[in-house]
Amino acid sequence: MLEVKKLAKSFGNRQILQNMNFSLKDGEILTVVGPSGAGKTTLLRIVAGLERADAGSMNLDGEEYDLSQEERGAVGVVFQDFNLFPNMSVLENITLAPQLALKEDKEAAEAKAKELLAKLQMADKGGLYPYQLSGGQKQRVAIARALAMQPKMLCYDEPTSALDPALRDQVADLILSLKESGLTQLIITHDMDFAKKVADQVLEVKPLEG
Amino acid sequence: MKYVMEILPSLFSGAGMTLQIFFETLIFSLPLGILVSFGLSSRFAPLKWLLNFYVWLMRGTPLLLQLIFVFYGLPIVGLTFPRYMAALAAFVLNYTAYFAEIFRGGNQAIDRGQFEAAKVLQLTYGQTLRKIVIPQVIKIVLPSIGNEVINLVKDSSLVYVIGLGDLLRAGNLATARDVTLVPLVLVALIYLLLIGLCTLLLRQLEKHYSYYR
């Protein structure tokens, strides 16, 4: 269960988000749509802890977070351009954080990573480096990397924008299959068809006047 | 040929001093350069100003002046260093400044997205630097660092001004004593050999980092 209350954010004297409230049940998908400049990405960055809000609170699975601080705990992010670590193989990209932050031992982390890769039809790609992957493959590595940290929620920033239009349906299927496994997901997109296809709930963000 | 064999031992012992300065400068100034580079992009303004001033000072005055200053100048105000210590201190201070600027450029080339990805994966700042940023920076700066390393081999000949017996000094003495060009030619050959080795090693290192793009 995700509940965001009274979220507000401004840059300088430009108010971007104001008194924003929404909630999302476990295992559901929320898509956030709206024109560029409306604050969709800012919303994601605040929920993920990459940006401090001016005010607001977030409750994730009973855990209360002050959105004007940066501490968020278990929120995973799939970035628009994926931000894989180029100096590490696919497997190292996935196992790095579980080993360092969750103190998993190497064998356990690798076993779990291989399981995730198999689930994402990437079983044979563990030894490759990011530059050797296509856009769609990079995205699946980014998803596996986020999932390896056992997030309570996974956020996507424009998951279809860096991909071939033909891959759009594949991404939709992938997101829906993750939903079946009970993952709560928040998706920023400007692609309305895509948003409607995967969403349980659509949140429209409009640019504020003035 | 007989003459060559006669002067080679003194040239080699001079080359030993050259190599000692070379390696010890690198051992200290490379890690220090990395540290200073982070300080140069620190959000704590006084530290940034201080380090910028240091870099400006070191790059803005000749290394030869710095050597003379430390060894002949500082004793006037009561700070006396042994010859070798003075040389090493001047070299480390000077090269740290150049390395710091090179690393700073490398740090800036790292996409902010890398830090953000590390942050949402709950890595600490230290872990992010160690596992993600520094390995990528090293790959980026390797060619520029290589340039400085090669410069250092030759710059080490400046210690001759404070009376340390390096390779150039050994050759110069032999030439003055025996009135022949041979020692200087040999000195040039030894420098070329050392720099050839450095170049090869640096190429290997670049190759080692070419496993990703």
Determine whether the interchain pair A87/B117 forms a contact, defined as Cβ–Cβ distance below 8 Å.
no
Task: Note down the domain range covering B84.
Answer: 2-211
Residue A77 scores a pLDDT above 60: yes
Helix axes A135-147, A90-100, angle to 10 degrees: 20
Identify the pLDDT of residue A209: 66
Cβ contacts (< 8 Å) between B118 and chain A: which residues? 97
Full set of structural domains in chain A with CATH: 1-73+153-160+170-210 (3.40.50.300), 75-150 (no CATH)
Q: Which residue has the higher pLDDT, B1 or A157?
A: A157
Q: What ipTM goes with this model?
A: 0.91
pLDDT at A73 over 80: no
What pLDDT, in 10s, does the model give residues A3-51? 888 888 988 888 888 888 899 998 999 999 988 888 888 999 999 999 9
* Mean of pLDDT over chain A: 90
Cβ atoms within 10 Å, residue B50: 14
> For residue A133, what pLDDT is reported?
94
For residue A30, give every residue at least 6 positions away whose Cβ sits within 8 Å of its Cβ, in sequence order, or none.
A2, A22, A24, A185, A186, A187, A199, A200, A201, A202, A203
pLDDT of the residue at B91: 96
Domain tally, chain B: 1
All residues of chain B having their beta carbon less than 8 Å from the beta carbon of residue A96 are 121, 123, 131
Q: Which residues does chain B have with pLDDT short of 50?
A: none
> pLDDT value at position A86?
96
CA atoms of B130 and A87, how far apart (whole Å): 12
- pLDDT at residue A62 greater than cutoff 90: no
Whether A86 and B212 lie within 8 Å, measured CB to CB: yes
How far does the CA of residue B123 sit from the closest CA of chain A (Å)? 6
For B145-173, what is each residue's pLDDT tens digit?
999 999 999 999 999 999 888 999 999 99
Instruction: Please check whether residue A138 touches B, CB under 8 A.
Output: no
Using a CB–CB cutoff of 8 Å, tell me whether A39 touches chain B: no
Q: Outline where DSSP puts E strands in chain A.
A: 2-11, 14-24, 29-33, 55-60, 63-66, 75-78, 153-157, 184-188, 201-204
Q: Which residues of B68-81 are buried (b: 16+ CB within 10 A; e: fewer)?
A: bebbeeeeeeeeeb
CATH number at residue B186: 1.10.3720.10
Q: Within an 8 Å CB–CB cutoff, is residue A46 touching chain B?
A: no
pLDDT tens for A104-152 read 999 999 999 999 999 999 999 999 999 999 999 999 999 999 999 999 8
Q: How far apart are CA A89 and CA A131, in angstroms?
A: 10
